[in-house]
Amino acid sequence: MTDNSYARPGAQVHFGVFFHGVNHTTIWSDPTSGSQIDFESFRRVAHTAERGLFDAFFLGEGLRLREQEGKILDLDIVGRPDAITQLAALAGITRNIGLVATQNTTYNEPADLVRRLSGLDLLSGGRAGWNAVTTDNAWTGENFRRGGFLDHADRYERAGQFLDTARAIWDGWADDAVATSTEASSWATAGSVQDVSRRTSQFDVTITPTLPRSAQGHPVIFQAGDSPAGRDFAAAHADVIFSRHGTHFDEAFAFAEDIRARLRRAGRPEDDVKILPGTQIVLAENASEVEDKVRWVLEGQYTGQTALSLVGQVWGRDLSDRDPDGPLPEFDPVPAPISVTRGAARDGKDPLAIAREWRALAEAQNLSLRQVAIATTQRSGFAGTPGQVADELTRWVRSGVTDGFNVSPYLVPTGLDEIVDLLVPELQERGSYRTEYEGSTLREHLGLRPPLSRRELPPRQAVG
């Protein structure tokens, strides 16, 4: 149950679109599915999202292609263009939608990344966002000079120092630094650009900022970690949280309450961070068609090969020679650790215990291996008619559970069309979705306050 004190009767739903890149939840085998790396796919999705008045186009990041048994995982849609390069191209053919790049704080350096983000922010007229992520695994790090150098406990320490340095660089230019008239004696006011020096456990740099601030001040900061450390990092640094709590109402409300409490302890207003959980939306024009549509989506996402791969992660061996529409393996899993390159199907659990649970489920419901993979894989999303889904999304937002949703289409590039054409009008009829863009920057679209370093905050609350 939600606390009525968080009710927001007039709140509106915010939408972002998440272009995954590498995943098995995109139905890549459908005839209408397009390339995941051709610019036309990015253009089509971005233009559809902007037509639907979405806040942002959101790109994931893959610093190394996933592998299985030492080989590139051919069940994924592989390859990702550099996010900032791709978004800079989209900036030139869009006018309003925000452009959010996932960029890693572990394997980047402030002087370089902050300059590239500043460039995107200026070129787009203040529409840039940065999803600041971390990693500590040596498998990804092998692609970099200092592969695997960062201890797990240090990843958010580095990320926090990175964000502090980034904000100092963005603030390195005075508000009136750039001349606004051709009659000025100089293009920039003398002394208006300040060097930034940082001597910390992670950085030893002196940087001269190279670009002025954009119309929104700083790029909008997104954060996606769900651990206690990740939530504290968001409360201290983020403007938006991209959460995984986009299916179960009570779970999502508990997450929102926890974030609000952490914001208060960090000395910030409890509504200072927008929460946009990732979700999938399946629509059918008639209620009688919803169940069949959901089944079609799941069967497209969980092909036989994908099911064998996912179950193979639990069993700890290659199952590609088995029939995905046959039974689960009669032999027990190998209890050895699984490489991080293969995903997290075990999620730290005992594989023998998982096998017992899955076998019991298969016997009770007469399920094949593939059906067990579908039934036991955690998914997020909403399904129903456009009116039913509009009612539910409106309830979530107006109950203070979330501020909107980051939608992952199950088809690229056409999967967003039905949301824009069918769901958005239903939301607008309920007064819970904008009918036009009211600002020009991403910060304005989301209704965010000025950047943290550009305003005074009250003291942090004592913990405990």
d(C-alpha 350, C-alpha 345), whole Å? 11
Res 258: pLDDT: 96
Of 152 and 43, more confident = 43
DSSP strands (E only) in 53-195: 56-59, 67-68, 71-72, 98-104, 128-133
Please give the residue that has the higher pLDDT: either 225 or 172. 172
Model confidence over 103-137: pLDDT tens digits? 999 999 999 999 999 999 999 999 999 999 988 77
Structural tokens at position 304: 């036989």
List the structure tokens of 155.
């990843």
The whole-number average pLDDT for the span 20-44 is 85
* pLDDT confidence tier of residue 23, bands split at 50, 70 and 90: confident
- The confidence band for 138, taking pLDDT boundaries of 50, 70 and 90, is confident
When computed from its CA atoms, the radius of gyration of the chain, rounded to whole angstroms, is: 23
Q: Is the pLDDT of residue 28 over 50?
A: yes
What are 258's two structure tokens?
């926890």
> Could you give the CA distance from residue 373 to residue 406 in angstroms, rounded to a whole number?
25
Tens digit of each residue's pLDDT (9 = 90 or more) over 69-83: 667 766 665 567 899
Structure tokens at 373: 């993979």
* Beta strands per DSSP E along 170-284: 196-199, 204-207, 220-223, 240-241, 274-275, 278-279, 281-283
pLDDT band at residue 459, thresholds of 50, 70 and 90? Answer: low
- Token pair of 88, please? 């800079």
Yes or no: say if 241 and 224 are a contact pair by the CB < 8 Å rule: yes
pLDDT tens for 305-336 read: 889 988 988 898 889 899 999 999 999 998 76
* Mean per-residue pLDDT, 16-28: 83
User: What does pTM read for this prediction?
Assistant: 0.92
Q: What is the pLDDT of the chain when averaged over all its residues?
A: 89
State the pLDDT confidence band at 434, using cuts at 50, 70 and 90. very high
Parallel/antiparallel/unpaired status of strands 67-68 and 71-72: antiparallel
> What average pLDDT score do residues 36-65 get?
92
Q: How many CA atoms lie within 13 A of 133 on its CB side?
A: 17
Using the Cα atoms of residue 193, residue 199, residue 205 and residue 206 in order, give the sign of their dihedral.
Answer: positive
pLDDT of residue 24: 76
The mean per-residue pLDDT over the stretch 334-341 comes to 63
Length of the chain, in residues: 464
CB 105 within 8 A of CB 132: yes
Specify the DSSP class assigned to residue 441: S
CB atoms within 10 A of CB 340: 14
Q: Where is average pLDDT lowest: 47-56, 87-96, 304-313, 372-381?
A: 372-381
pLDDT of 464: 37
**Nearest to residue 259, comparing CAs of 243, 246, 279?**
243
pLDDT of residue 25: 82
Q: What backbone torsions phi and psi does residue 261 show, to the nearest 5 degrees?
A: -65, -40
